[in-house]
A and B are shown apart, each in its own frame.
Chain A
Amino acid sequence: MMEEANVSVIDRLVDSGLEQKEARVLVALAAADPLKASEIGRQVGITRMDAYNTLRRLQDRGLVMATIDKPMRFTALPISEVFQNFIFEEEAELRRLKAHLSELEAGVGSNTPPVGLPQGEPTFTVVKERTYIQAAMERLIQDSESHVWLLLGRWGIMHLVKTGALAAINEAGQRGVSVRVLATLDERTLKFYQELDDSIEVRHCDSFSLQGCIVDDEVAVQTLSLKSNPVGRGRDDAALVIEAAEFVSAQAELVAACWGNAASFAAARTRLEEGRIVEPLKVTLGGGSFYQRLKELVASNYHDQHPESIGWTNAILRRGDEVLSPEPTLPTFEALGIDTSEVFRSVGRRIGEEIAIELQDVTDDDEFWADLSQQWQELRMGELVVEGDPPTSIRVIDSGSCGGAPKLGGPFCHLDEGILEGIIQTRFGVSATAVERECTSTGDNHCHFDITFTQLDV
């Protein structure tokens, strides 16, 4: 327990600007009677010389005191006073900066005017350390006039909350600036998005690693390297601040394209919190020129089926007032070049994803397949017999879902293939193709699906 508390204090000290070993030395001293440098070195796991150097730097900042004993021993301020010291230092620094600014604005010592760049000249600046990157973004957003793209990757929202830059973003939204946030939502960060102003729209992309912002299509902040620890100080983080109209405009177009394909915040939250996938299903219907295909089909229909007259039907089939014919049929879609198998397969994949999400808490694969098999039966889709882990062959006995299908490769066969692909993709994180090679609709007593992985490292 004590160990965990110390770790937490060390993190806070590091986050406040100390090096890791400085923080560890301070914590060691705060928890004990005065220690010799050699003792401190042993406790912290550094050499005696390293301990001396570290202690000297801490003494310079007034955080560590030496006794007048021989050999010299060291003691430290209580941790709460260490933080108080940091605050005094920062406040002093802030006062100094404000004084400089006031004097400059008053004309004191400003007899050498800065030479500005020609208007519109592309520029870039490298900004290091997360605090300064966030400060740069905050300043740009404060000055925004019409629209802001905020790119947050998976953890960016935490940086905004932690540094206080969120207030500038909300303020921009409240004064009418269009603020749009593109991020990879995570169930651990969802709560932070609630702190955004209602005027700000948030969308989710599954794998969106861009971090930064684009302001008024004039200036962009683009993170170059980002430390993986989302709550650390991010000292090694680096970003480019770019003012180059053509580049920034191209970046904005790219982001807008991602935005168009992104899921709404509500849909993403439903997926993360409830395991249900509710965003619109986007399906590829086929390629080529639909117009050309339509023209060819119309010509073919006219010549082949209506040699004597224009038109396709001249009789109404009815029962009482109910018209029984004509009615649309699947071959109509196929004739237009719409791949109905892909439609059913896509719907199946979506169902499979949801099934896998529902069973994501089942960590044991055998248990997972057993649960899935039971669910498959409850859906009246037959009994699953799985071979391989991940599976390379799946048989479905007494499949009810395609029992009425007219032929192997019918719509429900593709639906089943899609379901299996969706399950495997979501569960194992690999792309797979399921192909049915035996089907109850052709007289077999089961359906048999072969699974082919498109990633060879499985």
Chain B
Amino acid sequence: MSILGDGGGISLPMGDDVQMVEVTLTITDAAAERLRAVLSEEVGDDLVLIISTLSGGCSGHLYDMQVAERPDDSGFQHLDVEGIPISVHNRDSWRLNGIEVNYLDTLMGGGFKIENPNADRGCGCGKSFG
């Protein structure tokens, strides 16, 4: 008997394909107003909003929106949407292309909601996409 057992095989982890696209996205008025307020309150030079996807949620990804100084990494695309400076890494570009960033004031408080045309299904908890 081979060390692989009775004819079974093994599989190795494969890296995700990184497909780079030129990102366009929209921001609703409510989200723009909120983001402008947040950026104006934060202290720092050349602040931007870095949008990326995170692992987590019941179906795979959550969105991360980080207020940070403009990254000098050449892997980022830099956009200006409604006067708000936004940076998106190339590895997230295919997932984030076409998204709409919205801000909702709901029973549970205010929060950002990203509508993503690339998401093929919603999740039970509403916090991720596949």
Chain A: residues with CB nearer than 8 A to chain B?
294, 297-298, 301, 305-306, 308-320, 324-329, 331-332, 335-336
Residue of B nearest to A308 (CB): B122
23 A-B pairs within 8 Å (CB atoms) are namely A298-B107, A306-B113, A306-B126, A309-B126, A312-B106, A312-B111, A314-B57, A314-B62, A314-B63, A314-B112, A314-B126, A314-B129, A315-B62, A317-B67, A317-B112, A319-B67, A320-B68, A324-B38, A325-B38, A329-B110, A332-B106, A332-B109, A336-B107
Residue of A nearest to B102 (CB): A305
From 50 to 88 in chain B, residues with beta carbon under 8 angstroms from any chain A beta carbon are: 54, 57, 62-68
Contact B105 A331 (CB under 8 A): yes
Considering only CB atoms and an 8 Å cut-off, how many residues of chain B contact the other chain? 34
Contact B113 A314 (CB under 8 A): yes
Q: In the complex, what distance in Å separates the CA atom of A138 from the CA atom of B66?
A: 74
Chain B CB count within 10 A is highest, among A305, A314, A327, for A314
B1 within 8 A of A: no
B21 within 8 A of A: no
Enumerate chain B residues within 8 angstroms of A329, measured Cβ to Cβ.
105, 109-110
Q: Which of B38, B64, B106, B124 contacts A305 (CB 8 A)?
A: B106
Enumerate chain B residues within 8 angstroms of A315, measured Cβ to Cβ.
62-65, 101, 111-114
Contact B111 A325 (CB under 8 A): yes
B95 within 8 A of A: no
Residue of A nearest to B49 (CB): A317
Contact A316-B67, Cβ < 8 Å, known A306-B126, A310-B124, A325-B34: no
* Tally of A-B Cβ pairs under 8 angstroms: 102
B104 within 8 A of A: yes
Shortest distance from the beta carbon of B110 to any chain A beta carbon, whole Å: 5
Contact B114 A332 (CB under 8 A): no
Chain B CB count within 10 A is highest, among A305, A309, A327, A332, for A309
Residue of B nearest to A331 (CB): B105
Enumerate chain A residues within 8 angstroms of B57, measured Cβ to Cβ.
314
Residue of A nearest to B64 (CB): A316
Contact B108 A319 (CB under 8 A): no
Shortest distance from the beta carbon of A322 to any chain B beta carbon, whole Å: 9
Residue of B nearest to A326 (CB): B111
Contact B65 A312 (CB under 8 A): no
Chain B: residues with CB nearer than 8 A to chain A?
34-35, 38, 42, 54, 57, 62-68, 101, 104-115, 122-129
Enumerate chain B residues within 8 angstroms of A319, measured Cβ to Cβ.
42, 66-68
Enumerate chain B residues within 8 angstroms of A326, measured Cβ to Cβ.
108-112
Shortest distance from the beta carbon of A408 to any chain B beta carbon, whole Å: 21
A294-B107, A315-B113, A329-B109 are known; give 17 further A-B pairs, CB within 8 A: A298-B107, A301-B106, A308-B115, A311-B125, A311-B126, A314-B57, A316-B112, A317-B65, A318-B65, A326-B109, A326-B112, A327-B110, A328-B109, A331-B105, A332-B105, A332-B107, A335-B107
Contact A316 B42 (CB under 8 A): no
Enumerate chain A residues within 8 angstroms of B104, measured Cβ to Cβ.
305, 312-313
Enumerate chain B residues within 8 angstroms of A294, measured Cβ to Cβ.
107
Shortest distance from the beta carbon of B83 to any chain A beta carbon, whole Å: 17
Q: In the complex, what distance in Å separates the CA atom of A309 from the CA atom of B108?
A: 16
Contact B112 A313 (CB under 8 A): yes
Enumerate chain B residues within 8 angstroms of A310, measured Cβ to Cβ.
122, 124-126
Q: In the complex, what distance in Å separates the CA atom of A313 from the CA atom of B63?
A: 10
Chain B CB count within 10 A is highest, among A297, A298, A313, A328, for A313
Q: In the complex, what distance in Å separates the CA atom of A332 from the CA atom of B111?
A: 12
Contact A316 B63 (CB under 8 A): yes
Shortest distance from the beta carbon of B59 to any chain A beta carbon, whole Å: 10
Q: In the complex, what distance in Å separates the CA atom of A336 from the CA atom of B109?
A: 12
Shortest distance from the beta carbon of B95 to any chain A beta carbon, whole Å: 13
Contact A312 B113 (CB under 8 A): yes
Enumerate chain A residues within 8 angstroms of B109, measured Cβ to Cβ.
326-329, 332
Contact A318 B66 (CB under 8 A): yes
